[in-house]
C-alpha cells in the first residue's frame, strides 16, 4: 500500500490529505502536526479575541475523529525533525515526551506554514508580549485579557493582522498605539490609499506611529519585573500592558532546505504548478511555499489562507496519483478595521516601478450606495492600468461597509488578463440597497476613457 505523509495541518496540510483521500481511496495517509489541533480557522482569531466568536470550538473546522472517519491518521504534537529523501523517511519527535521515530513515505507533502517575524529587541520574553499565528496564540491573548484586564496595547506592525487586532482591542475598551517601521500603514498598498486608513484610525483615537522602530520592550518602573509595561521606540516611550508583535511572517522552510529542497522567493520552498519541489515525490503547499503572480509573471511569496487551501488540494491530488495544477495568484487581500474596509489586488505603484512597467492610475471617490439610502458611506477606488494598451494591473479600495468585496470584480478581471477598455460597460448589478446606479468600480474604470 502506498503511503502519503503530510507534514503540517491547519489549511494546506489538511486540504492535501482530504483531497488525496478523494483521489485514491486505498492510499494510506498520515498527517503529523506539532500543534494540539489539526484544522481550525486561523483567520477568525482576531474576532475570537474580540469576543465576536464566543467559543473556541466554533473555530474548529475538522477534528482528529472526523479525519479518522475518512481513513486519515492524524498525529498531534508530532514535529518533523528531518527528511531523508534518499531513504524516503521522515524523523518525527513527540514534542511533549521527546520520543522519536522514523516514518517511511512514498509521497510527501510539506505544509509547515510560516512563523511570525520577531523584531530583534530585548524584552520579547516578558509576560504580556504576544504573537498571533496559531489557535494557542489566540487562546493565550484572550486569557490574558480576561485575567489581567490590560488597558493599553501597542501593536508592532500595521499589516492586515495588526490592524484587524486594532479592532479587537478597541472593542474591548483598550487604548491602542500602532508602531510601523515602514513610512505608512498597510505597506502593501499605495501611500495615498494607506493615508486614508491612517486618517480614519487617528479619528478613532488610535495612535499611529510610522517610520519608527521599536528598540526594546521593558517592565514598567515599580511594576513586576517579568511583565511588559513599556515599549521604547526611536522617539517615544509608550506605556503598554499588552504588546502584539505583528511584523509579518517568514516561511518555515528550514526542514525542507536541510533535505535538499530548493528555495525561492523570500526563502520559501520553490514549487511548480503541480506543487512539486525539485525532489522526486516531494510536494509543498501553503505558507511555506512560493507561487506565481499572474500579473507580473514573477515568482512571489504571498501567504494567504485561500492560497494555502488551493495549493494543498493540488499537492494532495498529485501526490495521490491524480492530475491538478495551481496557476498562481493576483495578490488579493482584504481586511476590516473597525468600520473601515480595505482591499487590494494585482500590483501597486511600487511594484510596477520595480518591474519597469509604465502605468497610469485613476482614483475616484463615491458612495457605497446612493446618498439617499440608509447606510451610505464613502468609498475610494484606485485603479492601475498599463500604458499604452490599458491592461489592468491592479486596484485598491478603502471605504465604509460594503466597499471591500468589490475588489473581487478586479481580481476576476486580472485573472482573465482583461484590459480596462473591456470593462467600462460591464453589466454590474444595481439596486439602491447595494450600489449607486453607476457602481464605484465602473466610475474608476471609466476614468481611463479619455486616454482610449
Whether the per-residue pLDDT at 452 is higher than 60: the answer is no
Whether the per-residue pLDDT at 9 is higher than 90: the answer is yes
Is 332 inside a domain boundary?
no
Please tell me whether residues 236 and 256 are part of one structural domain.
no
Of 43, 288, 348, 352, the catalytic one is 43
> Please, are residues 243 and 154 in contact by the beta-carbon 8 Å criterion?
yes
Is 264 inside a domain boundary?
yes
Query: pLDDT tens digits for 284-321?
Result: 999 999 999 999 999 999 999 999 999 999 999 999 99
User: Which stretches within 399-439 are classed as H helix?
Assistant: 407-415
What pLDDT, on the 0 to 100 scale, is given for residue 451?
64
Q: Is 2 exposed, middle or buried (0-12, 13-18, 19+ CB in 10 A)?
A: middle
Residues 6 or more apart whose CB falls under 8 angstroms from that of 143 comprise: none
Please tell me whether residues 108 and 253 are part of one structural domain.
yes
Query: What CATH number did the domain enclosing 375 receive?
Result: 3.30.390.30
pLDDT band at 399 (very low <50, low <70, confident <90, very high): very high
Domains: count for the chain: 3
Cα–Cα–Cα angle for 46, 47, 52, rounded to 5 degrees: 155
Please tell me whether residues 104 and 12 are part of one structural domain.
yes
Q: Is 288 a catalytic residue?
A: no
Query: What CATH number did the domain enclosing 142 receive?
Result: 3.50.50.60
Please tell me whether residues 253 and 303 are part of one structural domain.
yes
Whether the per-residue pLDDT at 225 is higher than 90: the answer is no
Whether the per-residue pLDDT at 223 is higher than 90: the answer is no
Residue 344: all three cell numbers together? 487590494
Is 268 inside a domain boundary?
yes
User: Which stretches within 63-131 are classed as H helix?
Assistant: 64-69
Is 324 inside a domain boundary?
no
Residue 263: all three cell numbers together? 528555495
pLDDT band at 221 (very low <50, low <70, confident <90, very high): confident
Please tell me whether residues 403 and 364 are part of one structural domain.
yes
Please tell me whether residues 141 and 74 are part of one structural domain.
no
Please tell me whether residues 282 and 431 are part of one structural domain.
no
Please tell me whether residues 74 and 7 are part of one structural domain.
yes
Taking CA atoms, 217 is separated from 67, 130, 165, 247, in Å, by 42, 12, 19, 15
Residue-number span of the structural domain to which 174 is assigned: 129-245
Please tell me whether residues 192 and 110 are part of one structural domain.
no
Please tell me whether residues 223 and 285 are part of one structural domain.
no
Please tell me whether residues 104 and 194 are part of one structural domain.
no
Is 149 inside a domain boundary?
yes
Rounded Cα–Cα distance for residues 104 and 416 (Å) = 42
Average pLDDT over residues 196-225: 94
Residue 284: all three cell numbers together? 509543498
Rounded Cα–Cα distance for residues 103 and 259 (Å) = 15
Is 315 inside a domain boundary?
yes
Amino acid at each position: 500500500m502506498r503511503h502519503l505523509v503530510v507534514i503540517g495541518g491547519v489549511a494546506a496540510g489538511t486540504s492535501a490529505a482530504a483531497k488525496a483521500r478523494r483521489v485514491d481511496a486505498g492510499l494510506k495517509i498520515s498527517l503529523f502536526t506539532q500543534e494540539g489541533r489539526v484544522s481550525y480557522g486561523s483567520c477568525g482569531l482576531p474576532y475570537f479575541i474580540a469576543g465576536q466568536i464566543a467559543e473556541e470550538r466554533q473555530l474548529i473546522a475538522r477534528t482528529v475523529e472526523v479525519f479518522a472517519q475518512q481513513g486519515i491518521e492524524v498525529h498531534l504534537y508530532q514535529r518533523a525533525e528531518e527528511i531523508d529523501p534518499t531513504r524516503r523517511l521522515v524523523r518525527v519527535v513527540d514534542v511533549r515526551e521527546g520520543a522519536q521515530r522514523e516514518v517511511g513515505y512514498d509521497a510527501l507533502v510539506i505544509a509547515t506554514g510560516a512563523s511570525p517575524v520577531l523584531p530583534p529587541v530585548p524584552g520579547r520574553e516578558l509576560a504580556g508580549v504576544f504573537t498571533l499565528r496559531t489557535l494557542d496564540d489566540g487562546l493565550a491573548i484572550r486569557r490574558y485579557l480576561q485575567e489581567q484586564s490590560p488597558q493599553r496595547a501597542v501593536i508592532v506592525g500595521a499589516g492586515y493582522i495588526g490592524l484587524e487586532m486594532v479592532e479587537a482591542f478597541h472593542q474591548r475598551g483598550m487604548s491602542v498605539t500602532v508602531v510601523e517601521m515602514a513610512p505608512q500603514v498597510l505597506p502593501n498598498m499605495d501611500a495615498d490609499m494607506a493615508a486614508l486608513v491612517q486618517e480614519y484610525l487617528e479619528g478613532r483615537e488610535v495612535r499611529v506611529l510610522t517610520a519608527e522602530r521599536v528598540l526594546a520592550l521593558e517592565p514598567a518602573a515599580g511594576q513586576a519585573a517579568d511583565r511588559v509595561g513599556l515599549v521604547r521606540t526611536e522617539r517615544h516611550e509608550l506605556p503598554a500592558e499588552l504588546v502584539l508583535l505583528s511584523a509579518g511572517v517568514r516561511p518555515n522552510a528550514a526542514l525542507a532546505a536541510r533535505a535538499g529542497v530548493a528555495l525561492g522567493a523570500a526563502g520559501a520552498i520553490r514549487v511548480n504548478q503541480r506543487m512539486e519541489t525539485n525532489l522526486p515525490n516531494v510536494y509543498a503547499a501553503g505558507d511555506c511555499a512560493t507561487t506565481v503572480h499572474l500579473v507580473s509573471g514573477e515568482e512571489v511569496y504571498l501567504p494567504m489562507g485561500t492560497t494555502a487551501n488551493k495549493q494543498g488540494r493540488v499537492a494532495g491530488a498529485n501526490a495521490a496519483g491524480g492530475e491538478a495544477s495551481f496557476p498562481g495568484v493576483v495578490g488579493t487581500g482584504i481586511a476590516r478595521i473597525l468600520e473601515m474596509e480595505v482591499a487590494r489586488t494585482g500590483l501597486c505603484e511600487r511594484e510596477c516601478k520595480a518591474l519597469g512597467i509604465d502605468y497610469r492610475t485613476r482614483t475616484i471617490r463615491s458612495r457605497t450606495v446612493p446618498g439617499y439610502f440608509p447606510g451610505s458611506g464613502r468609498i475610494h477606488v484606485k485603479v492601475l492600468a498599463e500604458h499604452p494598451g490599458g491592461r489592468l494591473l491592479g486596484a485598491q479600495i478603502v471605504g465604509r461597509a460594503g466597499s471591500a468585496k468589490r475588489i473581487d470584480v478586479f481580481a476576476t478581471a486580472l485573472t482573465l488578463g482583461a484590459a480596462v477598455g473591456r470593462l467600462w460597460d460591464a453589466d454590474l448589478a444595481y439596486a439602491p440597497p447595494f450600489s449607486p446606479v453607476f457602481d464605484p468600480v465602473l466610475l474608476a474604470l471609466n476614468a481611463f476613457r479619455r486616454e482610449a
